[in-house]
Structure 1
Amino acid sequence: MWKNEQYKKNIKLERERPVGIPVKVDLTDLIRQVYVQPKSPKWFVDTVKDVLKKVWCQR
């Protein structure tokens, strides 16, 4: 039973503590190309294109 209680305590602590440091970045500086698997469904390709248009249009 002790291991289970210790596990729950660790999970609770992880949720309460902030993880990492938030840093503002421009995704267009980090991403040069995006590859989509050739057998991906059309809806997925369209979604990726839409997201990329929004990201690059905000620049």
Structure 2
Amino acid sequence: MSNICILTKKKKISKNKISHSNIKNKCFKNINFKKKKIWINNNFKVLKISTKSIKIIKKCIF
């Protein structure tokens, strides 16, 4: 399974890790993924979604 959120289309971003001497090394920042059970088409599906999309879902439901 890829590291892209289904709902918000978020993915990992590239950034530079900068040392004290200003040397730049490329690194990646991953997304905060959680596995959640969501009721879809009369049964539960386990989805790997970001925490931001979990907040959006909670806002829409309540």
- TM class by shorter chain equals under 0.3
Question: Greater strand share, 1 or 2?
Answer: 2
Alignment TM-score, normalising by the size of structure 1: 0.26
Q: Which has more helix, going by share of residues?
A: 1
User: TM-score scaled by structure 2?
Assistant: 0.25
| Larger RCO (CA within 8 A; separation ≥ 6) | 1
